[in-house]
A = this chain, B = another copy of it.
Amino acid sequence: MTGHPVSRRLTLGVIGAAAFAGRTLAQGGGDPLPSWRPGARRDAILRFVAEVTRDGGPGFVPPAERIAAFDNDGTLWVEQPLYVQFIFILDRVRALAPRNPAWRDDPVFRAAIDGDLRAATAGGTAGLLRLAGAAQSGLSPEAFQGVVAEWLAGARDRRWGRPYTALVYQPMLELLAFLRANGFTTFIVSGGGVDFIRAFAEPVYGVPPHQVIGTTFALRTGDQDGRVTLTREPQIDFVDDGAGKPVGISRHIGRRPIAAFGNSDGDYEMLRFVTEGPGPRFGMIVHHDDAEREYAYDRDSHVGRLSRAMDEAPDRGWQLVSMRDDWSRIFPG
């Protein structure tokens, strides 16, 4: 994505300042985690990082092996009331509808176009995948990233009236920056579409495109007007969620991370894969228990269901973060 004007604009936007402030703090010797309240979770982070970076200590991990994996939806940014990518898909279906008149004959598409969420999702996963395929295919990955970046620049969340890229968790931005300042390489490992996340991960999280792992759609190669072309197809060919996360990690990173951060049962296998390795390990789950400042949900949520991973957290040594108690601030700015 050479050029990438929209991403550049995002860099200078609401989020850039906060993310870079976190980075400066971590490197400047001040409090690296100002939005984490004193307590067990904050202590656990500081203890783990001190342990793996203490040269000559029993838990020392060379920088090349300091790999940290972060889920995205619900771990780095808001996923309620709907995944941001699903809101994008609905908007995009509406935008493309005039060019696709036949869509109105399909109940799922007609519902999406009319903004009838209940009917649009009534078709279950099969219907959602058809919407996702139609809304996100036909472009090159580069052009698609541009479409996403442009949408993100204009779209606003209804509850806060802010861009979705402003609804990222300030404590997690500080954590990302703190880990990087201590020699970690930070990866996103998401069930979301890889090109969708790559459209904003670098300016917003400081994570370059090649450190984003996600669900992928098939790519078709071609040769058109004297150029090699890549075109996104409507079919998903890899689902980076649940048991798929260790697979995505292994294929992409080729080395087991030593720290993993998630918020739902979709992160359960990743958390186990990471924390079952030898040597110092760190697993953390963000628990959404703050209806006032964000949302409160876990076992019964249709988005970001958290049950088994929470039940097993104590025995597995995973830190359960209370957004309400452990975070003094939720969003930047």
Contacts and interface: CB of A to CB of B under 8 A. Distances in A.
Interface of A: 1-3, 61, 64-65, 67, 141-142, 145, 185, 187, 194-195, 198, 202, 208-212, 216, 219, 221, 227-228, 230, 243, 246-247, 250-256, 258, 269, 272-273, 276-279
A254 B3 contact: no
A126 B190 CA distance: 36
B277 A228 contact: no
Nearest to A209: B254
A195 B198 CA distance: 25
A140 to B, nearest CB: 8
B228 A276 contact: yes
Given A64-B202, A228-B272, A247-B219, A3 B278 contact: yes
Q: Which 10 residue pairs spanning A and B have beta carbons closest together?
A: A209-B254, A198-B254, A221-B243, A228-B273, A210-B253, A228-B272, A209-B255, A141-B250, A219-B247, A1-B255
A19 to B, nearest CB: 14
Nearest to A220: B247
Given A2-B256, A141-B250, A246-B228, A221 B269 contact: yes
Contact of A194 (B2, B61, B251, B279): B251
Contact of A141 (B195, B216, B254, B272): B254
A269 B202 CA distance: 27
25 contacts: A1-B65, A1-B254, A1-B255, A1-B256, A2-B65, A2-B255, A3-B279, A64-B202, A64-B208, A67-B210, A141-B254, A142-B256, A198-B254, A198-B255, A210-B254, A212-B254, A216-B251, A219-B251, A221-B246, A221-B247, A221-B269, A228-B243, A228-B269, A228-B273, A228-B276
A256 B146 CA distance: 14
